[in-house]
Amino acid sequence: MTDSLKLTRRAFAKGMAAFGAAGAISPVLPLPAFARETLTLGEATVETLSDGHLVLPIDFQYGDAPKQELETLLKAHGLPTATSEPDCNLTLFRDGERTVLFDAGSGSRFMSSAGKAMDAFDEIGLDPSEVTHVVFTHAHPDHIWGILDDFDDVVFPDAELMISSAEWDYWWDPATVDTLPEARKPFAVGAKRSLEAIEDRVTRFKPGDEILPGVLALDTNGHTPGHISFEIAQGGDSVLVLGDAITHAFISFEHPQWPNGADHDAEQGIAMRKLLLDKLALEKTRIIGFHLPFPGFGRVAKSGTAYRYVADTQ
């Protein structure tokens, strides 16, 4: 078959979607910016790709926070008090030999507002087959469901897939689903489904491992039992890929002691946030937050007895 006649399943699905919309007359709108290169580490580059955003009831995450204080904080920052729409930022690291994607996004089965990673790939001219490694911070839907396409094929055909042993064991356990509240049971079902599909391609690691040259796995459990953040260090500079260890640009920083309902272990989640914020503020470490405002790069600053997120403006 000639190259001109080859048709991937992804291209087919996109083509059919475009065909279905062709009958409608609509204005030509500018394409959204899904990707933006923001950091150079030595000879390597780090950029974030937008997978869209989530739409969540504020009570889903902060139902146990002091209601009046929560509303006052959100209003002070011009945010709605009933819903939250956190961005979803995937991290792409390229060092000339490896193209490493941190988390795979939501795919098409979670929320219609998310699962936009392939649009970002198209925007930067990167084919999924060029990704050499996909590294997971954890196995919540917005981080791992995007590993499979609509045909249940792995989106990144040539990539090595990497996840912590503790995270794998937790979601692989058939008893896990019975320990979760009803609203989160689909998380376990979807995680198990994703892990079963990639079982023969996964490399598991432990905290403290240098999983790739210049990429160190750090234990930040609490949000999930095997949650990992990653330090990328190249050329004397570094950045910390946080995953969901810190999730909200205001609440997590100003009130890290408030429990996050999305955390598997609320007390451990609080302890980990405080520990990270102290360390990051002291060391002035650059961070990438999966749910911080796109593109997600910034630093932590001390602010009285609490902290402040300082977005990177470069």
* Cα 227 from Cα 245, distance rounded (Å): 8
Instruction: Identify the CA nearest to 231 among candidates 253, 260, 250, 208.
Output: 208
Report whether pLDDT(9) > 60. Answer: no
Mean pLDDT of 77-97: 97
Using the structure block, give the residue that is written with the tokens 């997971």.
Answer: 136
Provide the pLDDT confidence category of residue 118 given band limits of 50, 70 and 90. Answer: very high
Report whether pLDDT(76) > 70. Answer: yes
**% the chain with pLDDT above 90:** 85
* Cα 165 from Cα 169, distance rounded (Å): 6
* Cα 206 from Cα 291, distance rounded (Å): 24
Buried-state track 124-153, b at ≥16 Cβ within 10 A, e below 16: eebebeebbbbbbbbbbbbbbbbbbbeeee
> CA 121 → CA 13, 14, 90, 101, 161, distances in Å?
16, 14, 11, 11, 18
Report whether pLDDT(12) > 50. Answer: no
pLDDT of residue 33: 61
Provide the pLDDT confidence category of residue 27 given band limits of 50, 70 and 90. Answer: very low
CA 235-237-240 angle, to 5 degrees, is 130
Instruction: Identify the CA nearest to 207 among candidates 113, 137, 143.
Output: 137
Report whether pLDDT(14) > 70. Answer: no
Mean pLDDT of 21-50: 66
| Mean confidence (pLDDT) of the chain | 90
Using the structure block, give the residue that is written with the tokens 């990167």.
Answer: 126
pLDDT in tens, 260-275: 999 999 999 999 999 9
Report whether pLDDT(53) > 50. Answer: yes
Provide the residue ranges of all domains of the chain, joining segments of one domain with +: 34-311
Q: How many CB atoms lie within 10 A of CB 289?
A: 29
pLDDT of residue 38: 77
pLDDT of residue 138: 98
Q: Tell me if 252 sits within 8 A of 273, measured CB to CB.
A: yes
Higher pLDDT: 157 or 3? It is 157
What is the SS3 assignment for 273-290? HHHHHHHHHHHCCCEEEC
Going by C-beta distance under 8 Å and a sequence separation of 6 or more, which residues neighbour residue 296? 48, 87, 89, 91, 288, 289, 290
CATH ID of 34-311, from 3.10.129.10, 3.40.630.30, 3.80.10.10, 3.60.15.10: 3.60.15.10
**% the chain with pLDDT above 70:** 88
Q: Tell me if 290 sits within 8 A of 247, measured CB to CB.
A: yes
Provide the pLDDT confidence category of residue 26 given band limits of 50, 70 and 90. Answer: very low
pLDDT of residue 34: 73
Provide the pLDDT confidence category of residue 37 given band limits of 50, 70 and 90. Answer: low
pLDDT in tens, 126-177: 999 999 999 999 999 999 999 999 999 999 999 999 999 999 999 999 999 9
Secondary structure element (H or E) that encloses residue 188, with its range: helix 185-198
pLDDT in tens, 178-227: 999 998 999 999 999 999 999 999 999 999 999 999 999 999 999 999 99
